[in-house]
Structure 1
Amino acid sequence: MSLFYTPDRAKVGDVIPFFDQRTARFRNFYLKNWNPDVPRDQVQFGWHLMSDTHADSIEDTPVGILGGTGSVVDVDGVYHLFYCVFENDPQRQWIRHAVSDDLMHWNDVGEPFGPDVSFYEPTDWRDPFVFFNEDEGRWWMLVAARRAGGSDRNGCVGLCVSDDLMHWRCERPLYAPDVHMSAYECPDMFRMGEWWYLVFSNYTDGFATYYRMARSPRGPWLRPVIDTFDSRAFYAAKTGFDGTNRFIFGWNPTRGENGWDFDPSAEYGADYRTWNWGGSMVVHQLVQHADGTLGVAPAGDLPAVLHRADHEAIAVEPVPVQGDWHRDNGGNGGWTGSGDGFAAALGAGMPDAGYVAATLSYDGQPARFGLMLHTDERLSDGYYLSFDPLHSRIEWRSGLRMHERGGQLFPYAVEMERTFLMEPGKRYRVELFVDGSTAVMYVNRDAAFSMRLYDRRPGKFGWFVEHGTVHVSDVSVLGL
C-alpha cells in the first residue's frame, strides 16, 4: 500500500492536472524523470498519462508529447494540449499546441510561438496554462516568463489572449513584482467564490510554490502573510477542480543524484544530499478561509487509505526520558512536559509506513516544541519537527545537526522551514503521514509540511519541549 506515488525507476516531475468531464474523473499527466541507472532503450521521455489518482494503483503511459509543462482543455469534443519546447545556442523557448480525441494520440497544429520581445525576454517562455476567462469572454494563456528591461530580478507571469485557441496575442505581464531572478514556473489561475488566485513556483530567493489573491483576474494581486502551501520539499504545484473540491498536485523531491555537483561527503548521510528534480507526488486539498486566504488539508486518498487499513490506530502513552512529565488532571489521557532545558518523552515504535498523530499545545513562550521521529532513547539520532513560536515557524531538523559537526551542515538543510502563526493555549492537531522516506505533516488540517527521511534508523516517535511547557494528548499510531 502506497501513500505517495513514485514511478518505478523514475520520479514524478511536474503534474498537469486535468479533470475530464466526459469520464467525471481526473486524468492527469506528468513529466517523467527517469533515474540515471535505467537502460536508455527503456526510457520513454515526455508526458505520461496517469490511469488513476490513488497512489497504490496508478499506472502511467507515454503519450508522445516531448516537451515541458503545459495544460489541457476540452472544447467542443476536442482535447487541446499546450506545452513548451526548448532549443539552445541561443537559448529559446516556444509554445506548441496539439489536439486529440482520446488523450492518448496527439497531433501538433499551428506553428510554435515565442514571446513578444517588447514585453518579455526571449530566453524564458514556458509552462503555458490555458483557461477560458468568463469575465472577459476569451481564452487566457499564462506563461512562465521574464519581463523585458530593468534588472535581472524580472521573473513574472506572462499573459496571452485568444478568441479561438489558435491565434494568440501577447499582452503585458499579468504579475511582475521584480523580486525573483527566474521565470515564475508552472503558473496556474482559478476563481473560488469572490476571489481569484494566481499560483506559481520559483527557485531563486526561496524555493516554493506561492500564491497571490485578487478580486479581479487583472489584479491588483495581494500577497498574503503566509503565501506558500508547504515546505521547500513541495514544488511545481498546479491545481485541479473536480466540480466540488480543488486539489493542488506537486512533487516531493528525492535526493542523491548530485545533479548540481554540490553534495557533501558520504559520511554525512543521505539527508544532506542535494535535491533532485522530481520525486514523489503529493496532493493536498485546498481550504479557503473566511478572509480569502488558503490552507491545505489531506486529500481524500490519505484518510481513505487509513480507513482501509487492516487494523485500528492504537493509543500511545508517553514514556518520559528527560525533564518533568506528569499526567494532566481531568482524566483526558493528556500529559504535560516541561523543563528549563530540553524535556522529551518517547511513544511507540516509528512505523516505516503509516500515520502518527497527537494534539499539542503550549504555555508561555518555549524556544521550541514538537515531534521527534525515529529517535533513540539517548536522544542522539532522529528527526525533529519543531514549532518555534518566537519566530512563527515550523522547522525540520535531523539529529545530525545536534552533533559537533552539525554546524557544518546547515547549508544542506536550507529552507526546510515555513511560516506558521501560533498562540499559547491553542490546540494543534498534528498528523504525520509517512511512506518510507516520504513524509507530510498536517496541522489542524490547514497547513502542510513535506520532508524526506533518508537516514532513519529503528527508533520511536515522541514529543519534546525546550525551555518551556507542552501539553500532549490524543496520541495514536497506525502502521500500514
Structure 2
Amino acid sequence: MKYRNIVTIASIFFSLVSCSQEDTYIGGSISGGNSEIASIFPVPPSQWMGGNEPYYSAGYTGDIMPFFDNGKFHVYFLHDAQNKPAGKGFHDIHEYLSTDLAHFTYEGQMIPFGKTTDPDFAIGTGSVVKVGNLYYFYYTGHNETPAFVQSNARESVLCATSTDLKNWKKVPSFKITAPTGYYNYDFRDPHVFYNDELKKYSMLVSTQTEPGRKAVLLHFTSTDPASGKWDVQAPIYTTTPQDNYLMMECADVFKMGSYWYLVFSENWSGNKGTHYRMSSSINGPWNKPENDMIDGEYFYAGKTASDGNKRYVFGWNARKTPENDLGNKDWAGNMVIHELIQNSDGTLGTQAPQKVKDLFSKKVTAEVDATSGNVTATSGNYALSGVTNKVIVTFKTVGKKAKIKAEVTLGNASGTSGFVFHTNDTGSFYKIIFDVSKSKIIGYNSASQEVTRIPFQFQVNTKYDIEIITEGSVVVLYFNGKTALTNRIYGRDKNKWGLIAEGQNSTFSNLQITQPE
C-alpha cells in the first residue's frame, strides 16, 4: 500500500514518527527468530537482531500478508521500525507464526529491503502462493529516491521464492511494472491466487489509469508462475463514479459459500478503511452491500486467510502521533484479527476469534467508582435514564488486558448510549456510542471529535450482545456478533471506564469483566 499522512517534509516516504512501546514481551530475539509474544494484538519486539544499530529498535505492525499452510498461520507483515537511519531502506517483511491466532511467536525478518539503487529500497504489500513444492512471495518494490525514479518506475511487483516459508531468495530477473495505460508511480500490492474458473493463476495489482487517474484493480494471469510470464488482462474492478476512489489498496479475493468477495482498503474518502464487494462470480459484476465496511477506519489494510474451516481478516490498528488521545492517525500499529462470518443474505460480519475470547477466563468484579445522573444498579444490571440529563456510571480500571461483556437495550429512537474510556477527574473521556438516529456505532475522542465509525441499523427495545476486547491502548468492540469497531485509546488501561447515556434511556445487563489467568 502507499504510505501517507506525512506530517513533515523529512518524512518523504512513509509516516515514520516514533512512539513509546506499550507491551512487554517474553524473551527477545538476537537472531530474529522464535520469540514468544505475550500479546493479543502484537507489535514486533525490540532489538530484534541485537546490537545497538538504531534500526533494530522496537517497531510496529504494518500491512499484513497472511498465509495458512500445514496447520499454521504464517502472518507476514511490513515491519515499521521506530528508528530509520537516513540512507537506509525500510518496511522489510517480517513474520509472526500462530496455530490459533491467540498466541504468536515472532520469527524475525523474512525479506530484507534493498539498497538505494534497488527497486525494493522500501517494500510494500504482497502475498504468498504455493505452486508445486515452491512458495512464491510477490511483493511491492518501492523506491522514490530522485536518482532512481529518473529512469525507473517508482513502484513495481517483485518476487522471492522459498521451499520452506522461512528462507526466501529474491528473484532478480523478475519485475513487473505498470503496462501502457496505467500509472507506474502507484502500482502495488500484488495479490496472487489460483483462479479455478480460469484454470490459471491470477494477480491483482492496485493502480490507476493513466491518463484519468481512476483507481483500478488490474488483473494479470499466468499459466505457470515458474516461467515468470504474466499477461495483463482487463481490470477486475474499477472505482465507480459514485465512490471515485483514488486507490484501492491491499486487495484480496476469496469465495465463501456461493459468493465471491473482493476486499480492498481506501484511505482518501469520507469512509476510510477496509471495504468489500460481493458477486456470484469472480468475474463480477461486483455489488456494493449497504454496509461495505469490514471495520472502522482505525482498522486498515485488511487481508484474509482461511484454515479450511473459518476465514479471518488481518489488519492493523493505527497508532497516533503524538501518542495521546488527540494525536493524528499514523501508519502501522498493532495487529488486529477478526473472524469473518457470512450472514444469511451473503453479506459479511465480524466477530472475535474464539481462541482469543477463550483467553479471558478469570472473572473480575466491576467496581463502581462514581455515578452521575439517574442510574439504577442491581447485580450487574444498570438502567441509565438519560433522556433529560446525561448519565454516567464509572468503574475502576480493569488493567492492561480485559474482556467486557454485556447486553444493551436502547429505549429511544434518538439520543445515544455506550461506553466511556480513559475517564479522569476533569471529566474528559473517549466514548464509543450507539447512535440510533444516525444508525452508527461511533468513536469520539476527548475533544468530542468523531474519529471512527461503522454503520449499524439499531432497533429500539431490542437486546444486543456486546463484547469488548482490550489490551493496552487497543480497544475492539464487537456488537451483536456481527460488527466490529476498532479504536485506539491511550491511557485506557490506567484510568476509569464506564457507561453513558445522553438523550437516551438504556439498560446494560449481565455486565461481566474477565481477564486472562
Match of 1:59, SS state, is: strand
Q: Which residue of 1 aligns with 2:443?
A: 396
Q: Which residue of 1 aligns with 2:355?
A: 301
Matching of residue 228 in structure 1 with residue 293 in structure 2:
yes
- Of 189-198 and 105-114, deviating more is 105-114
Matching of residue 424 in structure 1 with residue 474 in structure 2:
no
- Distance change (3 Å), C-alpha of 1:461 and 1:72: same
Structure 2 counterparts to residues 5-16 of structure 1, below 5 A:
5-8=42-45, 9-16=58-65
* Paired residues, number: 444
Matching of residue 111 in structure 1 with residue 158 in structure 2:
no
Matching of residue 343 in structure 1 with residue 397 in structure 2:
no
Q: Which residue of 2 aligns with 1:312?
A: 363
Counterpart Cα distance in 2 of 1:122 and 1:57: 37
Counterpart Cα distance in 1 of 2:134 and 2:445: 50
Counterpart Cα distance in 1 of 2:98 and 2:185: 35
Structure 2 counterparts to residues 435-446 of structure 1, below 5 A:
435-446=471-482
- Of 425-434 and 100-109, deviating more is 100-109
Structure 1 unaligned spans of 5+: 258-268, 402-409
In the TM superposition, what is the alpha-carbon distance from 1:348 to its structure 2 partner?
4.2
Counterpart Cα distance in 2 of 1:55 and 1:359: 25
Q: Which residue of 1 aligns with 2:412?
A: 364
Amino acid at match of 1:295: G
Matching of residue 72 in structure 1 with residue 128 in structure 2:
yes
Counterpart Cα distance in 1 of 2:372 and 2:92: 53
2:95 to 30, 33, 49: 49
After superposition, give the CA deviation of every residue in 1:412-457 in whole Å (9 maximum; x if it has no partner): x54x122121110111212111111111111122111111111448
In the TM superposition, what is the alpha-carbon distance from 1:217 to its structure 2 partner?
0.6
Counterpart Cα distance in 2 of 1:69 and 1:138: 22
Q: Which residue of 2 aligns with 1:354?
A: 402
- Distance change (3 Å), C-alpha of 1:479 and 1:180: same
Contact 1:86–1:93 (Cα < 8 Å) also in 2: yes
Relative to the length of structure 1, the TM-score reads 0.86
In the TM superposition, what is the alpha-carbon distance from 1:181 to its structure 2 partner?
4.7
After superposition, give the CA deviation of every residue in 1:120-147 in whole Å (9 maximum; x if it has no partner): 2222211111111111211110111112
Structure 2 unaligned spans of 5+: 1-37, 46-57, 114-122
Counterpart Cα distance in 2 of 1:313 and 1:41: 50
- Distance change (3 Å), C-alpha of 1:76 and 1:454: same
Q: Which residue of 2 aligns with 1:264?
A: none
Counterpart Cα distance in 1 of 2:166 and 2:87: 21
Contact 2:72–2:97 (Cα < 8 Å) also in 1: no
In the TM superposition, what is the alpha-carbon distance from 1:303 to its structure 2 partner?
1.0
- Distance change (3 Å), C-alpha of 1:43 and 1:187: closer
Matching of residue 215 in structure 1 with residue 280 in structure 2:
yes
Counterpart Cα distance in 2 of 1:365 and 1:343: 17
Match of 1:70, SS state, is: strand
Matching of residue 387 in structure 1 with residue 451 in structure 2:
no
Counterpart Cα distance in 1 of 2:81 and 2:295: 25
Matching of residue 324 in structure 1 with residue 374 in structure 2:
yes
Relative to the length of structure 2, the TM-score reads 0.80
1:101 to 163, 177, 198: 163
Contact 1:246–1:286 (Cα < 8 Å) also in 2: yes
- Distance change (3 Å), C-alpha of 1:61 and 1:323: same
Contact 2:129–2:136 (Cα < 8 Å) also in 1: yes
Matching of residue 4 in structure 1 with residue 76 in structure 2:
no
- Of 460-469 and 441-450, deviating more is 460-469
Amino acid at match of 2:65: I
Percent identity for Structure 1 against Structure 2: 29
In the TM superposition, what is the alpha-carbon distance from 1:55 to its structure 2 partner?
5.7
Contact 1:394–1:417 (Cα < 8 Å) also in 2: yes
In the TM superposition, what is the alpha-carbon distance from 1:459 to its structure 2 partner?
3.8
Q: Which residue of 1 aligns with 2:49?
A: none
Counterpart Cα distance in 1 of 2:256 and 2:349: 13
- Of 297-306 and 443-452, deviating more is 297-306
Counterpart Cα distance in 2 of 1:209 and 1:96: 24
Counterpart Cα distance in 1 of 2:393 and 2:86: 50
In the TM superposition, what is the alpha-carbon distance from 1:15 to its structure 2 partner?
0.9
Q: Which residue of 1 aligns with 2:235?
A: 173
Counterpart Cα distance in 2 of 1:226 and 1:471: 26
Counterpart Cα distance in 1 of 2:204 and 2:186: 13
- Of 210-219 and 420-429, deviating more is 420-429
Counterpart Cα distance in 2 of 1:98 and 1:57: 24
Q: Which residue of 2 aligns with 1:263?
A: none
Match of 1:303, SS state, is: helix
- Distance change (3 Å), C-alpha of 1:460 and 1:111: closer
- Of 80-89 and 124-133, deviating more is 80-89
- Distance change (3 Å), C-alpha of 1:177 and 1:51: closer
- Distance change (3 Å), C-alpha of 1:370 and 1:130: same
In the TM superposition, what is the alpha-carbon distance from 1:74 to its structure 2 partner?
1.2
Amino acid at match of 1:421: Q
After superposition, give the CA deviation of every residue in 1:107-127 in whole Å (9 maximum; x if it has no partner): 334431112223x22222111
Counterpart Cα distance in 2 of 1:435 and 1:384: 17
After superposition, give the CA deviation of every residue in 1:24-58 in whole Å (9 maximum; x if it has no partner): 2111211101002x778999851112233656542
Counterpart Cα distance in 1 of 2:493 and 2:314: 30
Counterpart Cα distance in 1 of 2:426 and 2:420: 9
Matching of residue 133 in structure 1 with residue 211 in structure 2:
no
Counterpart Cα distance in 1 of 2:155 and 2:42: 30
After superposition, give the CA deviation of every residue in 1:207-253 in whole Å (9 maximum; x if it has no partner): 20110000111111111111111111110110001010000000011
- Distance change (3 Å), C-alpha of 1:417 and 1:107: same
- Distance change (3 Å), C-alpha of 1:477 and 1:333: closer
In the TM superposition, what is the alpha-carbon distance from 1:462 to its structure 2 partner?
2.0
Contact 1:382–1:456 (Cα < 8 Å) also in 2: no
Q: Which residue of 1 aligns with 2:262?
A: 198
After superposition, give the CA deviation of every residue in 1:155-188 in whole Å (9 maximum; x if it has no partner): 1211111111221111121111243453211100
Contact 2:316–2:333 (Cα < 8 Å) also in 1: yes
